[in-house]
Structure 1
Amino acid sequence: MVRQPWDAVRAPRLSPVPRLGMLTRFTDDRFAWLRLTLLGLSGVGYLVLRPHPEETYGAVDWVAAVGALALCPVAVRWPLAGSLGSSLAYLVGACFGQGDPVVPEVGSTWMLLELALRATQRHVVIGTAAVVVTHVVDIWPHLPGKFPNLVFDLLISAGLPLLVGSNIRASRRLARHAEHRATAEAQAARSDERAAIARELHDMVAHHVASMVLRVGVARHVLPATDPRVTEVFDDLHAGGTTALADLRRLVAVLRDPAADGSAYVPIEPDALPDALATTVDRARRAGLTVDATIDPAVTSLDAVRGLAVLRLTQEGLTNVAKHAGPSARATLTVRVNAGAVHWELMDDGGGAAVPTALASTNDGHGLVGMRERVEVLGGSLTAGATGTGWRLATVLPAAEDR
């Protein structure tokens, strides 16, 4: 199984938390107080400025307008109460007032939008019914002549807020689903990589335990007659080692994915690491990449765990350079050992193509989870990002005694 850690870095990905624009922030439930405050202020401004001064406002008109404005703070916590109250204020102003009840009408429309944004479906239906009833009652004496006016009023006062509110709620729901899916994918990637690391570590432990058991078994037969107590110790060591080896193999069998290629988890001996790295580089070159590799001969001093990590990082890194930068890309691989710590770096020129700005700022995709897990298990840290037209991936694996 080949894990490809740069997939999300190089390719567009679905963001777990979508970027919120100004409009989306404004329609968030937390800003209901701001929306309703602006609604109230706009109503006060309309009453103060009176764009139609020739229009007479009687006591009923003022009561309806002020009542609608007074419902703004109420609707912050109880949107259904605010919607029903605004519809009632509009009905009173329309039926008994002398002027055009603009403030209550706009208020009832906006309150219905608040319902569509924040309330349950049942409350939305109730609020919509109230708006429809008030408009029908208002225009009823003029029917059927003004039926087109009624349809237009309902489209604006009920249809528009419902459409906008439903669309925003659907967007929120999709964003939540995307976030949950992204979280699940990240957890799955983390779990898969931890399982892979566990399989590799246990394979290496099993390998060394098997060697110990073999040596103890040989010692029991080739050594001359010894003290029976020493023979008993050898027997105990052999029996205990055999049992431990069997347990480890059972554990590895449980951890290993039957569908995966078992060869991907075979541990590598330190002496074989330079040849394995050279083979990986040669394979990348045969695929068309130009690879400049500088590999410190001291990698033979690494323990099996860090040696395997270096090999996996190199394999996966070069695979993704070929995949994303293209066969014309040039890659530079540097592996050096300094004071027991491994410094590993892989850079490419991107094949000469510019790195898109949107991708250059992305360094936390799901594909990097596996590489980060592998490095962090060994006490290191992974850095990845754009460098000009290409990409750079680097890590430092500390010495075993520093972990």
Structure 2
Amino acid sequence: MAKVRDRRVRRRLRLSRRARRRLIDVGLVLLSVVFVTTGAAFIDANYRSALPPIVLGIWLGAPIAFTRHRPLLTWATLLMAMAVYPFAVSSVMLQDVPGVIDWEIAPLSWPPTVLIGYSLVQYSVAVGHRRLVAVATWLCALGVGTLSVHLKEFGAGTPDIPLLVTLGLVALVAGDNVRGRRETRARLQAEEQRSEVLRTKRALLEERARIARELHDIVAHHMSVIAVQASTAAYRVPGLRPEAETEFDSIADTARASMTELRRLLAVLRSEDEEGALSPQPGLGDIDELVRSTRSAGTEVALKRVDVPERTSDAVSLTAYRILQEALSNVIRHAPRATARVELRGESDALVLDIVNDIANDIANDIANDVPDGSPEVLTSGARHGILGMRERAELVGGQLRAAGPEGGGFRVTAVLPLHASASSSARAGEPEPGGPGGTADR
């Protein structure tokens, strides 16, 4: 709530500042028009028409309102009006009278509001453009004043050149100073953002290193103990039946395979490369071995391949392997007596992975708790970690995963993956899940 209030306050402040600036612009325009039109009225002569002074006043004053948005265009328009003003007042606004016109009483200087407006425009040019551009505009204004001096004999008087030069120079220096401070502030903000990014990356690397140490010290140690105990069981326990020895050998093989994947995970976590060292990684070519290890754990698996493409992207291959690994792990954990059917099917632009297990209704209901309402809908964030991890992996490569609840006493997971994924998707798909090296987090 506090953040919302702060945003509202900042928005109101921005609106109020913008409104004040617009009011200042409009007020300056009106003042300029009033000064120009009334300035000519002090001349002891009659106007030919009331329209010319009004038009000239608008020409001199109106562009000032756009100085913040189009400073150079405003400057050019105002400079032309200032160049025309002395001649227009002398030859258009004043009625010709017999004899020689006394130019000393004509309004030969620019109105004060025009000089103020020029200063504001010169300031805006200096703020919004490089110093070279600002200096060039100031020199051009100086040239216009000097030209008026040389044209005095043609009827135009000498404008207030010193005042024009002084006001323009002050505005130029002030605007350049403001622009320099803004650029310095922008550079400091950019440096702060870069520093924040570096601090975030450093914190991420430190966290990855900490996780790697924990995995190495705890998980790797226990997996090593399991592998050693399973490998030496036949020598330490007399009278083991051949089936038990085979089972212990399978446990040892699984532990060693898990340690291999754990080493890959540690290499990823300890790498300072943001994407990590992801190679080598398992893929479609390792599915047969995955199915074999699942069968050795006591779960029957029927594998079927239909038009599987020979080549797919590494990300899709890895994702398909991880999804199948997680699905079979769920079967082993929650339905050890079930039979799993795996179908790997290639379509025109997608790879379809379909895993179905035939289990009793009570076990199916246990697994269905991972699916909202037990319905075959695309999972949402309410699903638990195991199936949610599969869904996230599929989405990382641009695919989709559907998990169906009990249907005739079974459970189905279907993943549709595009045949090719982008390089960034490939990198992200190789990142490990929080549950462990094999991506088989407990649900």
TM-score band by shorter chain is: 0.3 to 0.5
TM-score by length of 2: 0.42
Q: Which has the larger radius of gyration?
A: 2
TM-score, normalized by length of structure 1?
0.45
Q: Which has the higher contact order (CA 8 A, sep 6+)?
A: 1
